[in-house]
Amino acid sequence: MLEVLNKANTFTKENESSVIQDFRNKYHLMAPIGWINDPNGFVFYEGEYHLFYQHYPYDSVWGPMHWGHAKSKDLVSWEHLPIALAPSEDYDKDGCFSGSAIEVDGKLYLYYTGHVVNDGAVRQVQCVAVSEDGIHFEKHPQNPIVDERHIEGIAPIADFRDPKVFKKDDMYYMVVATKTADNRGQILMFNSANLIDWDFFSILLEGDEHQGVMWECPDLFELDGKDVLIMSPIGIQPRGHEFKNVSSTVAFIGQMDWETGKFKVEADHEIDGGLDFYAPQTCEGPKGERMMSAWMQMWGRNMPSNELKHGWAGSMTLPRELHIQSNRLIQKPPHGIYDYIQPTEKVGDLEIKDQQLIKEQVMLDQSYLKLDLDVSATKQIQLELAKSAAGSLKVTYDVASEVLEVSREGLGYEIKGDEPVHLLARSMQVSAIGGRLILEIFRDTSSVEIFINNTLAMTNTFYETEKGSDVVLDVLGSARIHELTRGVFKDKDH
C-alpha cells in the first residue's frame, strides 16, 4: 500500500497551496485538497480525537476512496495527518470505503469496506488495518475478514458496507449496512472475540418499503438508558417535513435484545433538518460523552466549489454532543467552541413590535449569533442572515404552526439536486418551549449550522456571489429579546 499512499501524500503536499480559499470553512474540518465525504474512524485515542474521512485528493469530485486523517484536542482546531489508507490490494483496489476505529491495548484498528468492481460486478468486503502509533496503518494479512462466507443467502455482496465496530462486555460487535433481496434497507451484526475472526450474529433491523432502498453508515450505541441506531437511508420517503433530501439520516431509538441481536424500535426521526447533512458517525469521548460528526454536503447535488474549479469539495459538520430527551436524539454544539467566540455585542430585554431590527456586519465569515426570544405574543419572525444586495439565508418561524424554515432560495450559486422537486428550503417542527425560541447560529464562510432550543439542528451550505454579513430581524406581532449575543471567532487563548 505504501506506494499508493506516498503518491497521495506527495500530491497533497505539492498541490495544496493551489486550492482556492474563497469559500473554505475555517473552524470545520476539511481536506487540504480534493474531495471529502463521510466521516470515518471517529475515535478518542491517546488523549486526542481522531477523525478520518472519505477522501479523493486528486480532484474535487468523488473518486477511488482514500481515508484522510486529522486530529484535535477540542473538536474545533484540527491538525492534518498523512492520508491513512489508500486503495492498493485486490480486495480494495477501487476504494477504501467508510468504516470506523477502535482502540485496543494501545493499538488503533481501522475497519473499512474494500470496494472492487470487476467487469461491472461490485464486491464489497470488510477489512481491517492496524496501527501502533495512530498514524501509520498496516492492512491485515487475513483481509478480507468479513465477506461472502458470512452473508450467503442474507445480503448481496454488491451492497455490503460501512462497518462500525464496538465492544460490549467481552465481545466485539460489527454493524454493517446492506439491503434485502427486495430492496429494503437492512443492518447486519457480526461478532468476534479477537477483532479478526468474525461470525454472523443477527439481522439487527430491516426497513419497510417506505424506508429506503439501501441503508448506509450504521452506528449503534447506548445513550441515557436507551439504545440508539443511527444510519443513512437512500430514498426514504418523505414524512411531514422530514426526509426531503435524496439521501437522509435517521435515528432509531429503542432497546437492544443482546440474546437475539435484534433492535426493538420505539421511535424514529430525521437527525438534522437541513439540506446538507449526511452519513453521521459518533464516538465516545473521555468523559463518556457521545459526539457526532457528519458530512456537510449531500449526494445528488452539484457542488459550486467543484464547478468553479476551486480544487476542493465538502466539509465535516461541527461535531455535536448527543443526548436522548423524550425518545429523541438531541444535539448541542461541542462545548469547546465557546472558547473561540469573542462576544462583540450583547443586547437584553428588548421589545420589538411589528418592526425590523437591522444589525450590520454581524454575520461575518466566521461568526456566532445567539437569539433568545419570547415569541408568545408573536405571529411570525423572519431572520435574514448573511444579507447582501444579492440575497440572504432566510430563517422563518411561524408561531401558530410551530414551523421553522431555512431557505437558500436566490442566495448565491444555484445548487440543484436529483430531488423530484428542486429543493431550496427545509423546514422542521419546532415547539417554542414556554413561549421561548432559542437560536444559536454558527457561520463558517459557506455554511450555517443552526442549533434550536439546545436540542435540534439544521445544517445548510451556500456559496455567495456577493459577500453578505448583515442580519435583519423582522417581527410580525411582538417579540421580546431576552438575549441577543453576537460574536466573532478568535484564536483560542492558551
Closest approach, Cβ 186 to ligand FRU, in A, equals: 13
**Which residues have C-beta within 8 Å of that of residue 153, sequence separation ≥ 6?**
none
User: Could you tell me which of 172, 126, 118, 183 has the C-alpha nearest to residue 149?
Assistant: 126
- Closest residue to ligand FRU, Cβ-based? 97
Q: Which residue has the cell 439504545?
A: 227
Closest approach, Cβ 285 to ligand FRU, in A, equals: 24
54 sits near ligand FRU (criterion: CB under 6 A): yes
Q: Which long-range contacts (CB under 8 A, 24 or more apart) does 133-136 make?
A: 134/45, 134/46, 134/50, 134/71, 134/108, 135/69, 135/81, 135/82, 135/84, 136/82
User: Could you tell me which of 93, 178, 201 has the C-alpha nearest to residue 139?
Assistant: 93
Q: Which of 45, 53, 97, 109 binds ligand FRU (CB under 6 A)?
A: 97
Residue ranges in 206-265 that form contacts with ligand FRU under rule CB under 6 A: 216-217
Closest approach, Cβ 100 to ligand FRU, in A, equals: 11
Q: Which residue has the cell 501509520?
A: 136
Nearer to ligand FRU, 37 or 367 (CB): 37
Residue ranges in 391-450 that form contacts with ligand FRU under rule CB under 6 A: none
The residues that are catalytic are: 38
User: Could you tell me which of 69, 71, 32 has the C-alpha nearest to residue 52?
Assistant: 69
Q: What angle do CA 340, 440, 452 make, to 5 degrees?
A: 140
123 sits near ligand FRU (criterion: CB under 6 A): no
38 sits near ligand FRU (criterion: CB under 6 A): yes
Residue ranges in 135-164 that form contacts with ligand FRU under rule CB under 6 A: 161-162
Closest approach, Cβ 30 to ligand FRU, in A, equals: 16
Give the x-and-dash track for 336-375 against ligand FRU (CB under 6 A): ----------------------------------------
Give the full edge-to-edge strand order of the sheet including 107-118: 96-104, 107-118, 121-131, 138-139
Nearer to ligand FRU, 78 or 278 (CB): 278
Q: Which of 65, 330, 406, 430 binds ligand FRU (CB under 6 A)?
A: 65
Closest approach, Cβ 301 to ligand FRU, in A, equals: 13
Closest approach, Cβ 56 to ligand FRU, in A, equals: 9
Q: Which of 25, 37, 100, 366 binds ligand FRU (CB under 6 A)?
A: 37
Nearer to ligand FRU, 211 or 378 (CB): 211
Site residues for ligand FRU per CB under 6 A: 37-38, 54, 65, 97-98, 113, 161-162, 216-217, 278-279
